Amino acid sequence: MKMLIDGRWVESSDGKWREIHNAANGDVIDKVPQATLQDAESALQAAQRGKEAMRRMPAHKRAEILNRSAAAMESEKEALSQLLARENGKPIRQTREELGASIRIFRGFAEEAKRILGRVVPMDAVPGQERHLAFTIRQPLGVVAAIVPFNYPVELWAHKVAPALAAGNAVISKPPSDCPLTMLKISELMEKAGLPRGAHQIITGPGASIGDFLAKSPGIQMVTVTGSTAVGIRICQLAAQHLKKVHMELGGNDALVVLADADLEKAAEAVVLGRLARGNGQICCAVKRVFVERPAFGRFAEILTIAAKGLKVGDQLAEDTDVGPLINEEAARQVESLINDAVRAGARVTAGGKRHGAFIDPTVMVDIPAQVELFREETFGPVVPLVPFDSVDEAVRMANDSPYGLQAAVFTQDISRAFDIAY
């Protein structure tokens, strides 16, 4: 496949390509250009023209384009879901859900395009200004750079590109290096939906060089990125050179607290869904650490261990697969290393713990030393560390002992206790 620059599908200026693989079996799915900085500069210049076309476009036309894009995605939903499963590794049932969510996002922001309103402010709070009014109108920022992660590439891209276009901006998208194909296919559909030339471009290539270029270029007015904390810090440092707006969703080490009075079956089901099965454990805002009140710890560990062992690991295109491969084998090796390091430090595996190529068996671990990296840092894979606690204060302290944020949860039958812990 080629990349989209200035309304044309092109190769890279130096002719270099990158193969895209199915991580489950290593098969080559397709290849994409490795954009150079010259290519990125061409996209940036085209975006300056594209932003003017979008700025002049009436809201109802922007809404029509987004709705036509959504309709085209819906008509191709199954083919897009199959492609996403192959390149990303998520089971096909989940990629269908991702496409469905993305279609809803496009349609939702098509409606929001018609509701970008200003304000009228009476000035009579100031003596002598009784007959004065102030008013505001909202203007597009200009060019938005959207840097997209591999774990939910289509949905997270939709969250970036649809609102930017709805508001009348031009967008340059940088897809994830390992799974750009579905985004490219959808971009073809968007072009046919009537976007002006240069209004949306998608450039494939090395994340570091292209991402740095977009973040520091004065022709970009906003950068939106979903990625690691290290990437976010780098983007902020570069964007600050021109005081451009940034919008980031970064890493998480999200805590789930299970009290002894909780419905343990439902709590375990939530952990299986949020940590082991969905996204193959590669979700930044999903549960990463589970704290269980000691009287319920043994039973909860038993329930979760049985559930983890019951998950089917395999071909992501099979309808009955629960857990597919990680994004690539190197990612799986990193998770395997974290598991092994924790075991050497004294942790015990009650389910899973093994790697098979790019696959990691759904893993449950107990006796976790607090200092191991698997517990203290974000682990991007289907691994659940279980830690007991004796008091709510202890659970809250351990949950908060992290520089990460994003998400947390409490399971209990007592809604008052849940709110007390949450606040």
pTM higher than the cut 0.75: yes
Q: How far apart are CA 374 and CA 338, in angstroms?
A: 5
Active site residue 249: yes
Q: Which amino acid is at 322?
A: D
The answer to whether 202 touches 165, Cβ cutoff 8 Å, is no
Question: Residue 199 to residues 2, 157, 171, 188, 205: CA-CA distances in angstroms?
Answer: 17, 15, 6, 13, 20
58 half-sphere exposure, CB direction, 13 A CA radius: 3
Q: What is the DSSP string of 344-392?
A: HTT-EEEE---EETTEE--EEEES--TTSHHHHS---SSEEEEEEESSH
CATH architecture of 254-422: 3-Layer(aba) Sandwich (3.40)
pLDDT on residue 300? 99
pLDDT on residue 91? 98
From 41, 112, 249, 302, the catalytic residue: 249
pLDDT on residue 270? 96
Terminal C-alpha separation, the chain: 50
Q: Angle 333-1-57 (CA atoms, 0-180°, nearest 5)?
A: 110
pLDDT on residue 245? 97
Q: What is the pLDDT of residues 120-133, one digit of tens each?
A: 999 999 999 999 99
Q: What is the DSSP string of 249-279?
A: E--B-EEEEE-TTS-HHHHHHHHIIIIIIGG
Q: How far apart are CA 267 and CA 103, in angstroms?
A: 30
Q: How far apart are CA 133 and CA 340, in angstroms?
A: 67
Q: How far apart are CA 146 and CA 162, in angstroms?
A: 11
Q: What is the pLDDT of residues 161-185, one digit of tens each?
A: 999 999 999 999 999 999 999 999 9
pLDDT on residue 273? 94
All CATH 3.40.309.10 domain ranges of the chain, comma separated, are 254-422
Q: How far apart are CA 24 and CA 326, in angstroms?
A: 8
From 98, 179, 191, 284, the catalytic residue: 284
The answer to whether 10 touches 187, Cβ cutoff 8 Å, is no
Active site residue 394: no
> By C-alpha distance, which of 150, 62, 141 is closest to 107?
62
Q: How far apart are CA 240 and CA 159, in angstroms?
A: 23
Q: What is the pLDDT of residues 10-51, one digit of tens each?
A: 999 999 999 999 999 999 999 999 999 999 999 999 999 999
Q: For the packed helices 77-88 and 153-166, what is the interaxial angle rounded to 10 degrees?
A: 120
Question: Residue 112 to residues 60, 118, 139, 162, 164: CA-CA distances in angstroms?
Answer: 10, 13, 14, 10, 11
All CATH 3.40.605.10 domain ranges of the chain, comma separated, are 3-249
> By C-alpha distance, which of 126, 41, 165, 22 is closest to 82?
22
The answer to whether 204 touches 150, Cβ cutoff 8 Å, is no
pLDDT on residue 407? 84
pLDDT on residue 202? 98
What's 3-249's CATH class? alpha beta
pLDDT tens series, the chain, 423 aa: 999 999 999 999 999 999 999 999 999 999 999 999 999 999 999 999 999 999 999 999 999 999 999 999 999 999 999 999 999 999 999 999 999 999 999 999 999 999 999 999 999 999 999 999 999 999 999 999 999 999 999 999 999 999 999 999 999 999 999 999 999 999 999 999 999 999 999 999 998 899 999 999 999 999 999 999 999 999 999 999 999 999 999 989 999 999 999 999 999 999 999 999 999 999 988 899 999 999 999 999 999 999 999 999 999 999 999 999 999 999 999 999 999 999 999 999 999 999 999 999 999 999 999 999 999 999 999 999 999 999 999 999 999 998 887 789 999 999 999 999 988
Report the C-alpha dihedral over residues 163, 164, 167, 168, rounded to 10 degrees.
-140
pLDDT on residue 186? 98
Q: How far apart are CA 86 and CA 197, in angstroms?
A: 30
Question: Residue 282 to residues 23, 146, 217, 272, 275: CA-CA distances in angstroms?
Answer: 14, 20, 31, 13, 8
Bridge partners (DSSP) of residue 134 are 121
Q: For the packed helices 207-216 and 37-56, what is the interaxial angle rounded to 10 degrees?
A: 50
Task: Output phi, psi for 135, to 5 deg.
Answer: -140, 155
